[in-house]
Structure formats: C-alpha cells, structure tokens
Amino acid sequence: MKKLSFILKPLVSIILLWSLLVFTNCDKEEFLEEENLSDTIVTNENNIEVEKAYPNTSGEVTEIIFEGQKLPVEKIDDHYVFEGDIIISEEELNASKSTGRTSRLWPNCTIYYTIQNSLPNKQRVYDAIAHWEANTNFQFIKRTNQVDYVYFRTGTGCSSRVGRIGGKQEIKLSNLCSTGNTIHEIGHAIGLWHEHSRKDRNAYVTINYANIESEKDHNFKTYIERGYDGDEYSPSLDFGSIMMYGSYAFSKNDRPTITRKNGTTYSVQRTGLSFWDKIGVSRMYRDVCGTVPNMSGYYRANDGGHYYIRHIGTDVYWFGEHASGNWANIFKGKLDGNKITGQFYDVPKGRIQGSGTLKLTVNYNSTRITKTEGANFGGSVWNKTTRPANLPPPRAAGFGGRNNINNLTARWIANDGGRYYIRQIGNRVVWFGERNFASGRPGWANVAYGSRFGNTLWLDWVDVPKGNANSNGILRINVDHANRLTRVHATGGFGGSVWTR
C-alpha cells in the first residue's frame, strides 16, 4: 500500500475510496479501468488500504513495557499505537504484568459484541462476522450484559486491540474500512498479530528500511527484535494471510518496504481468511474450542448418504439422509480437539428407527470425518464436497402416527411451509424440518434437539446447509393436543408457530 495523506490529498482519498469499493465489489476489469484515473494511487494490484488507527497522525515513538516485554510504540493522545492499528491503552499498560497471552483468549470461542448506532455501513460488520463464523469455530453474539465484549464504532482509521482485553474493547472503523479490513480487525481481537512480524519472517521477506516513513520502522520489527514473545501457528510466512501487510505499507517514496527474498513485490488480500489463517486460529484456540476449522458444509458418506453439517462453537449438528428414503437421521455432538462425541437419532423421513452414540475424528482441515465408534450406524467415512444441485425432496413419513399425545413421532406440517420429521424417544425430542422445495432444494432446513417436560418442548434449533439459511436459536413449544403444537417462545428468527399432524 502506498502511504497517502488523506488531509493533504482529499481528492485522491475520494478516488481511492471509490477504487476500494470497486476493488472489493466488482471484477478485475472494472478495477483496471480505475488505474487510468490517477497514477498517484494505483500502480499495481497492491492498492489495498492497510489498516491504520490514525492515518494522518504520527506520535512520539517510545518504548513501553507491555506484559513484561519491551514494545516500540507511538504515543497518540492517551493511547499507544503499535504496528499502525493495534491500540494499547495507558490503563492496560499499567495492568498486571502477569497476564499471559493464553488468558486473553475468548472462552468457548464466543465473542459478544455491540455496534454503535451511528456506525455507517453496519453491513460490513455483519458480513465480517458471518465470514468468521463460516470459516472458524467462533460465534458472535449480540451482547446483553456480558462483561467482556467488542464494541464496533466509528474512528479515524481501522483499529483493534489484540485478544480479549477484559471489559469493553473497541474496534474502530472509519468509512474507508472495508469488510475485509473489518475481518482483519476482528482477527486482532481474536488474538492474531500481523503476519509480517513473525519471528521467522526474515527467511521469507526483506524489509527495506530506507523506504519506510520516518519513525514508522518499529512497525517492521519481529517479535524477537522487540523482545516480545509471539507464537506462530502456521509453518511458514503466509503471503495470503489477511493479517499480512502489503509491499508498500508505510512507504515514504512509493518504493516497496517489504519484498520477497528475491526482491519482487507481492500482492496481499483483504477478501477473507486464508487457508492458514483458518488453521492458525484453530491451533491458537486448540484448548478452547477444538483444533479443526469450522466443519459446516455438505459431505458425502460411504453409506451413500447426503450429510448437511452445521458447526457452531464446539457444537456439531447434522442432518443425514439417503435418497432412497431408507433412512434419515439427525446428530448432535461436541467437538473436543479433533474428536466428536454425540448422539444420532433416525427421524421419520426414512424408514429405519435407530439411535445411538457416535465417536468421530476430523482431519486437520475439516474435509474428512472418520467414525471410530458406533456399531449400529452405517456410514464410516465422510468427505466434504460440493453440494449437488438436486437434493432428496420431502416425502411421506416412514414411521410414526397420529392421535398419541404421549408420542409425537410423525411428520408434521407447519404454517411456515415446513415439513417436520419429529422423533420422540422417552423425553428426548428431535426433528429435521425443511421448507417445501424450489429448484432442487429447500429454502431452509433445520434440525432441533431437546427435551419434553409435560406438554412443553425445550429445543435448540439450527439451520443446516441443505437450504441456504444460516441461523440458530432456542424454541419453547406447547403440545396443545395429540395433533397440534404451538410455539411459545423462539429466538434466532424462527418462522413456524403452529404444527399439525
């Protein structure tokens, strides 16, 4: 990225903003047309705005002791800015030195958040959150009264703290910060440092200090050079990381500040998490929420089944079915490391009526699942692949009945257009539900898992990727009489409210 002064060159900044929008939203051809507008801002594809907390401001460069380590920083207002967009407060600086990096992880890989009402373009925050949820085991929940949370607000640049600080911590986003920049800032909040400051980066890149803006060279020091202990979670420097700075970061003269060892420049991206970003976050949080990236997606198994897996935090759900209608099941399990233990229940979209425990192992990048325990279950290997265009449509119930208030097992029809295949065993209640089909698949599909107490059902529900919806929540449902259920309470935007059989 070429350093631009947005105060001195307001016109250029407007053009740059436009070109960024074009770059992120449009195809390459339209972006290339932009190159002709101003050679001041674009000479190559590295024209990606790099995140800075205070784009126009330089502060006094100083060294602070942070968590027992020396750290070169700029002091701006009452904050210390480190590597351009990482902010450390006085308060944090004076806090206990014994706080270790591992204690700054987010429990259960869950981040609570709020968004400033006046923040423009909130969609970039929602899109960035959706990206993290789809690709990692993190879940983001709107804060109610939780103590530790992230507050997305406007600011002069893009900035974040690193890791869970405790209490309210801010991610600041100026109007120039894109969805990709927001993904990057969330990466800091989760605990990622910049990729170019890895301790082994000198094996991969050369830092050209002569081209760096004055008093910005501290942004290019490794953890070792700064006396800081950093951990590396991928085997080598990842030029594709969303946390990697471009060749022109903090350049004072339009010449590269970082090149590959052979002297060439490289591109960086702010589109999404790289392969190694996903693996790296999994490893960083291995003791918190499993060691594998998010598994959500479509899998084919060696029992011929279609499996639609949804993975949220450490919870793994699926709906599995065979196109013949012989069997259909739901599963809920818990991820621990790379192992999943859980229960499966056949549901009456098929004819078989089994249930039992499954133990599974997931490979390092969540593309292959192997059964290690579960004798009365047919499948033993699942491979992640592309969801076919045409999926098994709704069908009549394979088992169950009507008129028995003590057993709800049946196919039910709801007022949201859904077909619900409910299975009740004792007080355990599960279902698979799907909307009527349009062009080969349902609009949405979900599984529910919970219990029946008296005439009340308490359920967790999650959408599974047989349809295109991607929500989840809780449900409380009343059993009105043998053949009718009504919704009492729901979260997550659940549509249906009356079921009959």
| Residues with catalytic roles | 185
Q: Would the annotation count 184 as a binding residue?
A: yes
Binding site for Zn ion (CB under 5 A): 51, 85
Ordered DSSP codes for 75-125:
EETTEEEETTTEEEEHHHHTS-TT--GGGGSPGGGEEEEEE-TT-S-THHH
Q: How far is CA 353 from CA 329, 400, 424, in A?
A: 9, 10, 11
For the bound state, the minimum distance from the C-beta of residue 15 to Zn ion, rounded and expressed in Å, comes to 24
**CA 184/CA 121 separation, integer angstroms:** 17
* C-alpha span between 165 and 169 (Å, rounded): 7
Here the contacts of 208-214 (C-beta below 8 Å, separation 24 or greater) are: 208/255, 208/256, 208/257, 208/258, 208/259, 211/251, 211/252, 211/253, 211/255, 211/256, 211/257, 212/250, 212/251, 212/252, 212/257, 213/3, 213/58, 213/250, 213/251, 213/252, 214/252
194 is in an annotated binding site: yes
Can you read off the two tokens belonging to residue 270?
């702010």
Tokens of 222: 């490794």
Residue 243 or 328: the one with the smaller Cβ distance to Zn ion is 243
Annotate 309-334 with DSSP letters as a single string. EEEETTEEEEEEE-TTSS-EEEEEEE
Nearer to Zn ion, 189 or 316 (CB): 189
C-beta of 51 vs 434, nearer to Zn ion: 51
Name which of 413, 300, 394, 399 is nearest 354 in CA terms.
Answer: 399
Q: How far is the CB of 270 from Zn ion (least distance, A)?
A: 11
User: What contacts 277, CB < 8 A, 6 or more positions away?
Assistant: 187, 192, 238, 241, 242, 243
501, 414 Cβ separation under 8 angstroms: no
CB of 194 to Zn ion, least distance (A): 6
Closer to Zn ion by CB, 67 or 85: give it: 85
Assigned token pair, 8: 């001195």
Nearer residue to Zn ion within complex by CB, 34 or 85 = 85
Q: Which residues pair with 421 in a beta bridge?
A: 411, 432
Least distance to Zn ion from the beta carbon of 245, Å?
8
> Shortest Cβ distance from residue 241 to Zn ion (Å)?
11
Residue 218: DSSP 8-state = G
What is the Cα–Cα distance from 448 to 429, expressed in whole angstroms? Answer: 8
Q: How far is the CB of 138 from Zn ion (least distance, A)?
A: 18
N- to C-terminal Cα distance for the chain?
A: 62
Q: Which residue is nearest to Zn ion (CB)?
A: 85
What burial letters (b/e) apply to 77-98, b meaning 16+ CB within 10 Å? eebbbbbbbbbbeeebbeeeee
Of 148, 150, 154, nearest to 122 (Cα)? 154
Nearer to Zn ion, 180 or 378 (CB): 180
Q: For Zn ion, which is the closer residue by CB, 49 or 85?
A: 85
Separation of alpha carbons 253 and 241, rounded Å: 25
CB 410 within 8 A of CB 501: yes
For the chain, how big is the Rg over CA atoms in Å?
A: 26
Closest distance of CB 438 from Zn ion, Å: 42
Indicate the annotated binding residues for Zn(2+): 184, 188, 194
